[in-house]
Structure 1
């Protein structure tokens, strides 16, 4: 695990105190890992101590190949408060690794105590120089020894003056190789128990590719969480099969709901049109899932970074974002950046960083940054919001440049001119797509999709007439028009005591009273097109479509 390597290297580099932001449920496993992978190489395996408020200091004793036991330490008796505990560690006259659990509230926030803060700062200076002066035969000799401190806690955020006082690390959950080992051990255990209880082996029906999908689904879960989820799946289904993958995904999402993360459901209707965007996504589905080596190319291709979708309201940006998650088979984490803005300076950036960490935690996933232009509009001009927009922009740019987790970003914006140039420049995203009013072919597809929601179908001639009458209508307006026509038809049929049926006249009535936004504000649409003229179109432009036909849900084609 990366965090273990970094902790060990920091201690070897004479760093005195390292903090590890880690889940509370994993404390024993983490202490076990530190004992074997940090204390042992530093030759501190016989002097590892764990402190917490409930039991004070206990000696940590590794057992066998895995697991730990605790032993009471008489010389540390009565050190339940942080200050005497830190003092005991400071005066301990031998080498040792001291692990403090949940001491961080006394170092930050409302519960911070100056005496604890001061003690930790002094220890940061003194621990790397620990030793004892021994006088023998009239000569005094300084005998150094190794003494190090680890702070364990969840959601730690130290003040700025702790920079280089406490070196902060983040716990990383098991990687795919480790998950495979955990799975093999657990399946052996499940199988043994099934044989003992029922005289038969556990039913395991997972292909190699399904095992890989299972481990991808479990990425971001801690060891204990994955073990619990897998055990629940076995109890639920009485077997390990493809249903286990969906179970693990649902378990992971349920876990993260406590953080108020908004998970977007797949779109309720298929996406109509966007053939160029669709083809681009199709090319990259395999890349994202496997981060694979290009077959025959001899090069390693990284997973795609993401895309920026720009278009006026109603053109289908949100629908596209949801459908991309569905196509990739990944959960969609939605962040409304504007909704994160807080009146307290610094709080917005803090909230955003937490949400980005959660996205990495649940990865692989799609991160949908909705309406980024509204949130970042003030980042390029004079500071009018206490620097919040600039802080948000800086946080996003740093994260997008540095992230290693497989998070596919889909950012949506109504106006490209509302975005800072550094956000949309080349390299931030794999591509920037512009969305516009649908072509005649796309309008026919969209109308058919929304008619299908009501189990309706117009004759070919009626559909053609509607397509020709809705030039410059965006997808959302076409959906509203179909719904309005259904309501109009229902009202008409009720008044006339007729069986329900939607006729072309119902659509014509709606067309008479609805005016699309492109006709209400033609200058705004023209200005938008000028701003995005150099970006990729999401759809083949009308003038480039060779045959003005549209394939319906049957084999018939309609001339437009």
Structure 2
């Protein structure tokens, strides 16, 4: 149900006090005036602490006197259908005279065609008054509202944008107020004299500042691309088909809200890198959830933090939410001796994963099969669950090529990549990168350029993690190949033979 529909329903059901939670007074006032003028035919009065009533009431404005302003409601607008909006009232609710006057107004307002609306960005903290109000949140601008505002700004400034950039700016603006959007657009034009990809980066930086004020989420600015990841062609193909699923076109097509993916696999196979690359390729902000910070010592604190995490993520949608090593915080062993806190936090998270409507794409990673909660891998929590195995020979060639191009973009072809890929079964992508780095250190200490043989020497001196944890990794591989999970790599035949 939309904000307008809820307000109409509340007024028709004779709710005397409506409390609108919002940081955007101007937008709320505009929406209410429009609704009263064209739909409910009510007169609108506004009161704030500095200016009093507008228009005046009985030739008085009642400035700086909240009690007097409230008490006048009973004797004015007697039979005139009206909506009376009170601003700046949050700090006055704890006052005994104010709370008493509100209670006294209740039976009167039930008989008169008046509705009082209070606007503030925080909910009433006075418990004795909470049941006297109906509460409604006025959400941040929708896609269509941002589109309308951006069109207005572009027409005013005489700017023409390509549809792809236009939609990209709209998506990046989601989660911000209209006032903030106007400021950022003006700032971008003042700096560049135009709107381009730097405008998107400016908006993302603003979102970064919002995230920095919290202690639960971290804002990441990734540089990785999907092309920087060697192999995993199955996962890349799946992701490429969903790159535009955050668009309004996809929504109008009837596609459901995307939920996300769970990446399970051996350490060092690119799970975290994939989360970063998705955000970068899709031009979306990346939020990393530190699950360790969810759990607080005070009773009820953990539950409050998981709700806050959800609210922040949804307010900044569309975005990528990265939950790294999710199994470590929600293992069966962590759910004993904490008075059920972990169960309640997990239950809140699972319900949100299954029912969320906001465009928050969750990328969760896990290393250990035995520690993954069954509830997490149940259908409906994620769009897909992928297994990221140790790279096969062809994927190792791709990884060596990507890494050598990064370290030696001009001379990478001088290295025998085919030979190196043959010698590195059981090595993960992260371990292959480290082999190259160690070979570089050795050659640098001898004052020369590193060669293929230097990397081979490091291979001979290294023991990959897959050999140290061979039993658990083989168990994980067997589970993945049983058909219960989707494989990140298209061709795993060579991996099976080698490993």
Output the TM-score relative to the length of structure 2. 0.85
Counterpart for residue 2 of structure 1: 2
Preserved CA contact (<8 Å) 2:174 2:318: yes
Counterpart for residue 137 of structure 1: none
Distance 1:120 1:513 in 2: 81
Matched, 1:172 2:139: yes
2:465 to 508, 517, 523: 517
Counterpart for residue 113 of structure 2: 146
Output the TM-score relative to the length of structure 1. 0.77
2:53 to 56, 59, 63: 59
> What does 1:18-417 correspond to in 2, within 5 Å?
18-23=18-23, 26-38=24-36, 41-46=39-44, 48-52=45-49, 55=50, 58-61=52-55, 74=60, 76=62, 79-80=65-66, 89=73, 94=78, 96-104=82-90, 113=94, 115=96, 119=100, 122=103, 127=106, 130=109, 144-156=111-123, 164-191=131-158, 204-241=159-196, 243-259=198-214, 261-268=217-224, 270-292=228-250, 300-378=254-332, 383-417=336-370
Counterpart for residue 503 of structure 1: 451
Preserved CA contact (<8 Å) 2:399 2:429: yes
Cα distance 1:527–1:384, how it changes in 2: closer, same or farther (>3 A)?
A: farther
Bigger CA radius of gyration: 1
Counterpart for residue 15 of structure 2: 15
Count residues in correspondence. 490
Shift of 1:88: 5.5
Equivalent position SS for 1:206 = coil
Preserved CA contact (<8 Å) 1:99 1:149: yes
Distance 1:319 1:97 in 2: 53
Give CA-to-partner distance per residue, 1:71-104, whole Å, 9 cap, x none: 8973745525xx6765565676836534343544
> What does 1:430-469 correspond to in 2, within 5 Å?
430-455=383-408, 462-469=416-423
Deviates more, 1:153-162 or 1:403-412: 153-162
Preserved CA contact (<8 Å) 2:318 2:359: yes
Distance 2:331 2:58 in 1: 59
Structure 1, unmatched stretches of 5+, are: 62-69, 108-112, 132-143, 192-203, 495-499, 549-560
Preserved CA contact (<8 Å) 2:174 2:316: yes
Preserved CA contact (<8 Å) 1:377 1:389: no
How large is the Cα RMSD of the aligned pairs?
Answer: 3.5
Shift of 1:236: 1.4
Deviates more, 1:255-264 or 1:331-340: 255-264
Shift of 1:321: 0.7
Which has the higher relative contact order, 1 or 2, with Cα contacts under 8 A spaced 6 or more apart? 2
Preserved CA contact (<8 Å) 1:15 1:128: no
Give CA-to-partner distance per residue, 1:437-486, whole Å, 9 cap, x none: 11111122212222223217567884333323321112222222211111
Structure 2, unmatched stretches of 5+, are: none
Cα distance 1:223–1:77, how it changes in 2: closer, same or farther (>3 A)?
A: closer
Cα distance 1:528–1:17, how it changes in 2: closer, same or farther (>3 A)?
A: farther
Preserved CA contact (<8 Å) 2:141 2:176: yes
> What does 1:487-498 correspond to in 2, within 5 Å?
487-491=441-445, 493-494=446-447
Cα distance 1:284–1:89, how it changes in 2: closer, same or farther (>3 A)?
A: same
Shift of 1:250: 3.9
Equivalent position SS for 1:220 = coil
Shift of 1:274: 0.6
Cα distance 1:546–1:425, how it changes in 2: closer, same or farther (>3 A)?
A: closer
Preserved CA contact (<8 Å) 1:334 1:368: yes
